[in-house]
Structure 1
Amino acid sequence: MPLKTPPAPTVPTAIKGREEVKLGEGVEHATFASGCFWGTEHLFSKHYGHLPQFSAISGYTGGQASDPSYRQVCSGSTGHAEAVRLTYQTGSVSYAELVEFFYRTHDPTTVDRQGPDRGSQYRSAIFCEDDKQEQVAKQVTAEVQEKYLKGRPIVTQIVKAGKWWPAEDYHQEYLDNNPGGYECPTHRFYW
């Protein structure tokens, strides 16, 4: 997959985050749900795959069942969301920039739905690793709401990250391995 330069941040917290980025030791994680995980994973990998120690893994989180399968999650009975967990070297990108990218690549104003995909597993959600991520997510959300989505309330859940379950192998890098495969039409740039 050809890598692309991510678009420049446009809201104050994300702009400041990019300006203050300083490479550090270790890795950080960010977990986002924005509909079918195939498109979410593909977009993040295409634009941030150049980062040191980067990976984007499709999986399940936010539910009650242990080690859920795709079939169970799609039934809506587990409470899990299809999500993507990013790993990247500390300081290679700001969390605020990733949050804005998440918002600009799906419709965060629809409850339990992205395009034709319906159900709680397709909800818009940010799963925060710590209080700092939660604070940044809420700030960027407010800025995106004010700048781009006036009159259309953001319904994205901002919650503490829970247990993470990687999806089955055939879901990983799905759109790279299946060119022309299904991609939710809401997975595009909105600004």
Structure 2
Amino acid sequence: MIGSLKGIIEHKQPPGLLLDVNGVGYEVQLPMSSFFRLPECGQSIRLYTHLVVRDDAHLLFGFTHEVERTLFRELIKANGVGPKLAQTILSGMSAEELVGSVEREDISALIKLPGVGRKTAERLVVELKDRLAGWANSVGLERDHQDLLSESAPAPAPSFNRIKQEAIEALEALGYANKQAQKVVKQVATEAMSVELVIRESLRSMM
């Protein structure tokens, strides 16, 4: 098991990156909550990781904070929740929001996430409620999306069209339909925004 990686960000394209670790490039998929915290390309970072081994691929998921990896591992223990869906859930909700929704049995919040129907949401509440009890007060969960939105965004890319296209592609990778992704990006995107901020606002508007 690869528990963590420390290296230089060689390339990043939401929701993944290429991490150079002593000359070896690791392709890592991240929930957008972690992706938003990444430094710029060329800078060093340590990621907590979880390796998923399948017959057709080895998938490496990364997290900027260990608590998010722990939540990811709790999610994939639930029946019907695979790693890609867990990534989508942690992209659409902060750790604090997810724990709060489970504790409050807020099914309506969970079913807004792509791939999460009512049965899956109910199953998540039943299976996670006891395991996540007390987390909000004991593990120092990360700030929610509203706090993240107040931070300075990276400098926008030169092409506004490219920014919108990358945001749409990232939302599709997280499970949103192309038409839905195009519609929400068109609604929230402005020329002053970076691709990360467009994705962030798009996810927030769909919650």
Same fold per superposition (TM over 0.5): no
Higher helix share: 2
- Higher Rg: 2
**Which structure is higher in RCO with an 8 Å CA cutoff and minimum separation 6?**
1
